[in-house]
Structure 1
């Protein structure tokens, strides 16, 4: 039975990409070595063994912490049912969720009537079900030194790229050319919703017929 290190499990509205506005259950996994400087979930980076806690502690967090609980697929599903969540869309995020094999988890959810979406940096092999929606948010030249995998770019159902400077746009264009990506929807997401980054994203989307992702959940103040 596959086990996963869970940092958070909660129900909300998806605020990014193709599923913006979709009621969703977020399953946040612990662990990420990529090292993005602007990451807004840095508390998920390290897997400290002394931070393992009970599921009750994880489910009742009132602040961001590096605490996590080890759960198998059946236990995760039982918790979702016990919480009475209504959403039927599961977003598996992190951290970097593709550090582990997600296929058993995705297939279990799909067998129980849920759709799955995985959000990944594209730096690890993507092991998911065939029907899982894969959001690749490619992280280029980050501190961890990981390369974007061609297999990840090809598997992506959407590419969601954080931008703050022209260099970020150039990096994305180079990736798309390198991996011959032509038909996959591309979203630009302004880093930290800064005015300059937002204008750059809007102008670039118009120029390239790409799409804008503005992290709606942050604008309206929900998790």
Structure 2
């Protein structure tokens, strides 16, 4: 029997995926605690700190109505049972963070796929991606962030989707430099996502996507006011 992995979960909820190639898909979001990357525009900074003093119960995390640094600990088998207890009906599970690839996600993703779920990981690409071969991996490469962590070529190679937040041409140039080392983009979606829905960033993203036949990713959940 494989060793169970302890997962630290800051948020868990059922919603609609609002970004990237899976936009519009009913999803269970599992937001893991812990991230050293240090993105200045991060909208989940409450997930950065891993501290045992912040551990609480699963129900308190599920029921919370405000962002909080508190999280609960659980293994993959109990998490699957918790989905049923909560009455979730979505069959797509988005594992995000924080930085989810701080964890070995092979036991969780394999368990979920073997029980009729599809899985997706949203990662910064700064850790090796350890997951089931069937998992859809979205790498949102975080370049030259405060944490000083490089984007790994192995993460970009594993990616099914490379979704890059942009505000200016410099960000596209940085992405081009990363993509130059990837063996092939065949079968990969490349998406540009305007940071904070800024009009100038949106215009640049639209123009670039048209010119390169890439995909525009909008944070539609923010436009329609859902989590």
Query: Structure 2-normalised TM-score?
Result: 0.97
Task: Give the number of equivalent residue pairs.
Answer: 223
Which of 45, 48, 51 lines up with 1:45 in the alignment?
A: 48
CA distance in 1 between counterparts of 2:216 and 2:27 reads 20
Query: In structure 2, how many angstroms separate the alpha carbons of the residues matched to 1:130 and 1:86?
Result: 24
Which of 216, 220, 227 matches 1:216? 220
The yes-or-no answer on 1:206 pairing with 2:197 is: no
Instruction: Report how far residue 182 of structure 1 moved.
Output: 2.6
Alpha-carbon distance between aligned partners in 2 of 1:215 and 1:198, rounded to the nearest angstrom: 11
User: How far, CA to CA, are the matches of 1:180 and 1:141 in structure 2?
Assistant: 22
Structure 2 residue aligned with 1:102, among 86, 102, 105? 105
What are structure 1's unaligned runs of at least 5 residues?
A: none
Cα offset for 1:85? Answer: 0.7
The equivalences for 1:1-223 within 5 A come to 1-183=4-186, 184-223=188-227
CA distance in 1, matches of 2:94, 2:220: 16
Please list the CA deviations of residues 99-128 of structure 1 after superposition, one character each: whole Å capped at 9, or x if unmatched: 010000001111110000000000000000
Separation in 2, partners of 1:202, 1:166: 12
The TM-score normalised by the length of structure 1 is: 0.98
**After the TM superposition, which parts of structure 1 deviate over 4 Å for at least 4 consecutive aligned residues?**
none
User: Cα offset for 1:2?
Assistant: 1.1
User: Structure 2 regions of 5+ residues with no counterpart?
Assistant: none
1:179 is displaced (CA, Å) by 2.2
Secondary structure, aligned partner of 1:104: helix
